[in-house]
Amino acid sequence: MSKLLDLMRALGRDAALAAEYEKDPETVARRAGLSDEERKAILEKDHAAIMRLTGLTEGKFATNHLIKAYDD
């Protein structure tokens, strides 16, 4: 599985990680082991690149917002 997809899923289920990402997304992306291309895609919120890099299709990636499985 893609490290980028792993990070996106982790951000949706881990409130502490999501809060850290909001404060310092570059550090979180680096710590997740993303490639330069993956890091650029997530930091720039490049939907097309994220889809290409993760293998997601339009139906599986229908939002540009985080879907959180936890309460704020």
pLDDT digit string, tens, across residues 36-69: 999 999 999 999 999 899 887 765 554 555 556 6
Integer Cα distance of 33 and 69 in angstroms: 23
60: region left, alpha or beta (phi > 0 left; psi from -120 to 50 alpha): alpha
Quote the pLDDT of residue 66.
59
Mean pLDDT of all residues in 27-32: 98
Query: Across all residues in the chain, what is the average pLDDT?
Result: 85
Quote the pLDDT of residue 55.
84
- The pair of structure tokens assigned to 44 is 């720039």
Of the two residues 13 and 39, the one the predictor is more confident about is 39
Say yes or no to pLDDT of 1 above 70.
no
